Amino acid sequence: MGSLTRAEKKQYLLENGWWAHYHDDCWFEESKDELDVDERGFIVGFRPENEGITLEKAYEKARV
């Protein structure tokens, strides 16, 4: 099988517990989140952008 496209890798990550909040090259593992909803109904607790990893690194990590 050939290598996957960026879109296919993104879909794989989304289906396997990863998310990208800031942009498509800043991924986070959902299981390590401490997100919550505040009294106004807004999601709070997003990790800082500098803790995110690239799509490629996230995809490799998710495959292990």
Residues 3-31 have pLDDT tens digits of: 899 999 999 999 999 999 899 899 999 98
- Averaged pLDDT for residues 28-49: 92
Number of helices followed by number of strands (H, E) in the chain:
2, 4
Annotate 1-57 with DSSP letters as a single string. --PPPHHHHHHHHHHTTEE-SS-TT-BEEGGG---EE-TTS-EE-PPPGGG-B-HHH
What is the pLDDT confidence band of residue 64, given thresholds at 50, 70 and 90? confident
**Does the pLDDT at position 54 exceed 70?**
yes
